[in-house]
């Protein structure tokens, strides 16, 4: 439980209405799964982020930075600590020429639409990714042969000491679904991207084509966390899972999608334990049949 002293301290940095106790996390993840966080705080700006994190580190209170919750599985027991949400209150997007600057809480689909409005190409691949740009650069999000590493020029972060830092692309150590931020106590505040001038109609057509492919191939009608596993070298997780005979495999409310075996979906009443059990069975069966270790792409909290 969070003490009254901690709550009083937090209320010095953020408005009291932004602080909630025992907040169900199922309402803050695309999986629609998760028990209550001891405390849930909505941040409005970089200054609040710095002050709150600095205080929580001083008192040794565990905390987790949340964006859109699109790549996350929260335990049924919830989270014993404080969830700091960077969302719509920190989602400003500005465009100057071919440069887009977005606060960490802006969704990648929102930024892609802004690029379209200004006739900028290079971000079409991200138009259907549900996460925020802050979470996106942490894992170098990508789809359809595009990755953020190809367009990001600078990422502004707050480090573990509460200091503001500007990281150039070369310092980000981007890799497949990873970056330097994933292994350090950095929190993204802003992302700067450089795109190219393009034809607005061609950009729109490409975005519509990718959206149609997603609707056709991905189980968008069900809650999920997107692709459950990272792509193994030289193969595809979905194909391995399908070839292992696990299409439609289900435990409780968690199920391997029949439309795309790389997705585990919530059929309506799945628990986090159901999802973990399906993940374990998939990993064991694929390992046994193909000698391939499937590594989860989603994060586990609690």
CB-based contact 294:282 (threshold 8 Å): yes
Between CA 199 and CA 211 the distance in angstroms is 18
pLDDT of residue 144: 84
292 closest CA partner among 248, 239, 254: 239
In the chain the first and final C-alpha atoms are separated, in Å, by 14
Catalytically active residues are 177, 227, 297
Between CA 99 and CA 287 the distance in angstroms is 45
> Residue 266 is encoded by which pair of tokens?
């919530």
Residue 2: DSSP 8-state: -
pLDDT of residue 88: 86
pLDDT of residue 183: 81
**Tokens 């259907």 belong to residue:** 128
Between CA 114 and CA 255 the distance in angstroms is 35
> Residue 1 is encoded by which pair of tokens?
């439980």
- In this prediction, the residues of the chain whose per-residue pLDDT falls under 70 are none
CB-based contact 228:237 (threshold 8 Å): yes
> Residue 18 is encoded by which pair of tokens?
């932004």
pTM score: 0.91
Q: Distances from the Cα of 30 to the Cαs of 92, 128, 174, 225, in angstroms? A: 22, 14, 25, 6
């Amino acid at each position: 439980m969070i003490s009254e002293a901690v709550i009083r301290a937090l209320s010095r940095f953020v408005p009291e209405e932004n602080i909630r106790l025992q907040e169900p996390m199922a309402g803050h993840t695309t999986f629609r799964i998760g028990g209550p966080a001891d405390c849930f705080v909505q941040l409005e700006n970089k200054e609040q982020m710095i002050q709150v994190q600095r205080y929580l580190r001083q008192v040794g209170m565990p905390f987790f930075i949340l964006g859109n919750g699109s790549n996350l599985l929260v335990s049924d027991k919830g989270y014993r600590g404080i969830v700091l949400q960077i969302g719509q209150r920190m989602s400003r997007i500005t465009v100057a020429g071919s440069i887009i600057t977005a606060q960490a809480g802006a969704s990648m689909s929102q930024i892609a639409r802004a690029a379209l409005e200004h006739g900028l190409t290079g971000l079409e691949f991200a138009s259907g990714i549900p996460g925020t740009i802050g979470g996106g650069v942490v894992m170098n999000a990508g789809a359809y042969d595009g990755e953020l590493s190809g367009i990001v020029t600078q990422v502004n972060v707050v480090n573990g000491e509460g200091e503001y830092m500007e990281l150039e692309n070369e310092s980000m150590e981007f890799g497949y679904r990873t970056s330097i931020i994933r292994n350090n106590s950095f929190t993204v505040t802003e992302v700067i991207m450089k795109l190219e001038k393009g034809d607005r109609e061609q950009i729109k057509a490409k975005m519509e084509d990718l959206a149609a492919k997603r609707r056709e191939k991905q189980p968008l009608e069900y809650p999920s966390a997107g692709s459950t596993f990272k792509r193994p070298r030289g193969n595809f997780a979905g194909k391995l899972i399908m070839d292992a005979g696990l299409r439609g495999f289900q435990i409780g409310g968690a199920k391997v999608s029949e439309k795309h075996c790389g997705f585990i979906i919530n059929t309506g009443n799945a628990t986090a334990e159901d999802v973990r059990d399906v993940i374990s069975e998939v990993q064991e069966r694929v390992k046994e049949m193909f000698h391939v270790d499937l590594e989860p792409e989603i994060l586990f909290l609690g």
